[in-house]
Amino acid sequence: MPGFSELDSIPSWFVVLPDCPSAVGTDNTLRDRAELTVHHPSGRPWLMGRWGEQHMACGQAGANKLAVLGEFDVTTGRLAEAAAHVRTVADVDALARRLAGSFHLIASVDGRVRAQGSVTGFRRLFRADIDGITVASDRADVLALLGRTGLDEQRLALHLLDPPVLHPLTYRPVWRDVGFVAPDSYLVLDTDGRSHQVQWWFPPEPELPLAEGAAALRQALTAAVGVRTGGRELVSSDLSGLDSTSLCCLAARDGPKVIACTAASPDPLDDDVQWAQLTAAAIGRIEHHIIPADEMPLIYHGLLDMNEPLDELLDEPCGGIADYARWLTIAGRAAGHGSRLHLTGFGGDETLGCATSHLRTLLRHRPVTALLQLRGFAAKYGWPRGQMLRQLCDGTSYGRWLNGAADRLTTPPPPDTAPALDWGPTPRLAPWVTPDAADAVRELIRTEAATARPLGPRGLHDDLVGIRDSARPVRQISRLAARIGLTLSAPYYDDRVLEAALAVRREEKRPPWGYKPLIQEAMRGIVPARILGRQAKSGGTCDLDAALRHNRAELLALFEDSRLGRTGLIDAAALRKLCTGPLRPHPYDLHDALYQAVACEIWLRTWERAATHPKAGAML
């Protein structure tokens, strides 16, 4: 079981305390390990932890105090002015709705506390009851260490799902007695130390035509990039697909010097480098650097390298860890050219697109348009007409759908041509997951199904789940980048950007024909016209089997004495046997499932090492 000393190995964290006398015990526990403390207007500790002071702003007016932590454009003076107009914690809604950037927002209002993360889930917030009071933190592991709880192996098994997406189960921390605050809600800490959640955010109606919505998205993205680049002389950016290209061009428009990085691929169909070169030449204010394909590590590279930055303690397994060496190669090149902030297009696919299941709602309101689009998607993806009609007629509730997902955990997945008009993809468990682990996951799903509520109609639910779940690994990757002194910024996960994208008519946002029409329309005059004509991007899937062949020995060694095997969650021998041959001949592509197994295995090993050497990962 982890001990409190592991907190020394976590470089950045904060804890939110209620304004009550009974919080003094937690205050005393944190005092020796918190480098920074911000006090309530009453004088009691409010925020304690370890963070870069440049990432926080705080303003006070009388008995009210407001703080933001993250990436923002608000000053102490503006926060103090906003605090002067606050009478209750609900009044903070006005500030939360207008701030650009990505941040946690925390308020102390006449003794009551409001704390929230971001709607997109990139800035998460967790809660736990410790010594009779509720406290909150941006990290689940900090609360587990503070409360001296341990790993919940049943919840860890959820991270073996492929894909690991199942609302709300996969949001739950892997630590016992630690909960999460819903991204659309804020946590209220009362003066007696008790708490409750309040939903404050609701998605906009998708009513705007494409042109009007694109103008709003352009404004939101411009503000989001400006929050990051303002006052800087140099930033870096990915330059590959249309999403990252848009951010790069916005940064170069009137701002600092931009170092653009493009990773070449051995895939002959991957044309990122050619498009990036055209962009850099057309803009003229971009210093473009290409990382040759033979200098880019393959997936699964370096998994046995237990030196920094892989020893970064994460509060949950990160599915992207199998690819960490590739992402950090790009980040390292950017940092090597002097960048301290790197823009990435992560989240663009999820924010700018939408689920095809929105057609169910459209069918009720604009049936002719819906039928035309259904025909288009059926032709594009090869959807069998009978299956499509059955899904359209299926009125299964979300709870019943979850029960069905529990029943199908170990069955073969549907073919790639199956229609996507349901509540979302049904996750599976790979053949190496033990029957006991599968039973544990089924139990969790069935228990949740009794009370689970979707985030909206099928299409909206699928969109919000997609953006929030895609934010989870990026949140963790950003922590790895921070270890080399680089802030990884993902503007597509900003709340204002998401709101602008959600407000657009979905049938115009993702028609069966055309490529990302929303960002193309939004970036006219900013991204060169020729680049906006790009109609596709390579998925890079040809790298997967090559990576398995090249790094097979490391994979086999990683699971030689498997910690997942020790817990009884996987049959390590079965996994190693599958890794000795190509993964393609199996009923479905097992690479994604292998990503999750690697993530959980490395995560367990990292915490095991931290327990033995608590300060091994510390950045002091």
- pLDDT tens-digit map of 125-154: 999 999 899 999 999 999 999 999 999 999
Give the C-alpha separation, 38 to 67, whole Å: 9
> What pLDDT is attached to residue 512?
94
Distances from the Cα of 480 to the Cαs of 484, 486, 554, in angstroms? 8, 9, 21
> What pLDDT is attached to residue 265?
87
Contact by Cβ (8 Å): 555, 303: yes
C-alpha closest to that of 501 among 360, 343, 350: 350
> What pLDDT is attached to residue 266?
85
Confidence of residue 434 (pLDDT cuts 50, 70, 90): very high
Q: What is the pLDDT of residues 303-318, one digit of tens each?
A: 887 555 556 789 999 9
pLDDT of 565 over the 90 cut: yes
Where are any strands of DSSP class E within 411-504? 487-489
Percentage of the chain lying above the pLDDT 90 cut: 80
Q: What is the pLDDT of residues 216-245, one digit of tens each?
A: 999 999 999 999 999 999 999 999 999 999
pLDDT of 273 over the 80 cut: yes
Question: In the predicted model, what is the mean pLDDT of residues 246-266?
Answer: 93
Q: In the CATH hierarchy, which top-level class contains the domain 4-149+177-199?
A: alpha beta
Give the chain's mean pLDDT: 92
Tokens of 292: 């040759």
Tokens of 364: 């009720």
C-alpha closest to that of 240 among 265, 268, 214: 265
Percentage of the chain lying above the pLDDT 70 cut: 95
Query: Nearest 5°: CA angle at 357, between 352 and 359?
Result: 95
**Which amino acid makes up residue 421?**
L
pLDDT of 213 over the 60 cut: yes
As a 3-state breakdown, the chain gives helix, strand, coil percent values, each rounded to 5, of 45, 15, 40
CATH 3.40.50.620 domain extents, the chain: 210-352+492-532
Q: What is the pLDDT of residues 38-53, one digit of tens each?
A: 999 999 999 999 999 8
Confidence of residue 214 (pLDDT cuts 50, 70, 90): very high
> What pLDDT is attached to residue 617?
39
Contact by Cβ (8 Å): 16, 136: yes
pLDDT of 562 over the 90 cut: yes
> What pLDDT is attached to residue 4?
67
> What pLDDT is attached to residue 541?
58
pLDDT of 540 over the 90 cut: no
Q: What is the pLDDT of residues 470-527, one digit of tens each?
A: 999 999 999 999 988 999 999 999 999 999 999 999 999 999 988 999 999 999 999 9
Query: Nearest 5°: CA angle at 31, between 28 and 33?
Result: 135
Give the C-alpha separation, 209 to 212, whole Å: 6
Q: What is the CATH number of domain 210-352+492-532?
A: 3.40.50.620
pLDDT of 210 over the 50 cut: yes
pLDDT of 560 over the 60 cut: yes
> What pLDDT is attached to residue 545?
76
pLDDT of 1 over the 80 cut: no
Question: In the predicted model, what is the mean pLDDT of residues 49-78?
Answer: 96
pLDDT of 614 over the 60 cut: no
Question: In the predicted model, what is the mean pLDDT of residues 95-110?
Answer: 97
Count Cα neighbours of 184 within 13 Å in the Cβ-side half-sphere.
Answer: 16
Q: What is the pLDDT of residues 348-378, one digit of tens each?
A: 999 999 999 999 999 999 999 999 999 999 9
pLDDT of 3 over the 70 cut: no
Neighbours of 204 (CB within 10 A): 15
pLDDT of 328 over the 50 cut: yes
CATH 3.60.20.10 domain extents, the chain: 4-149+177-199
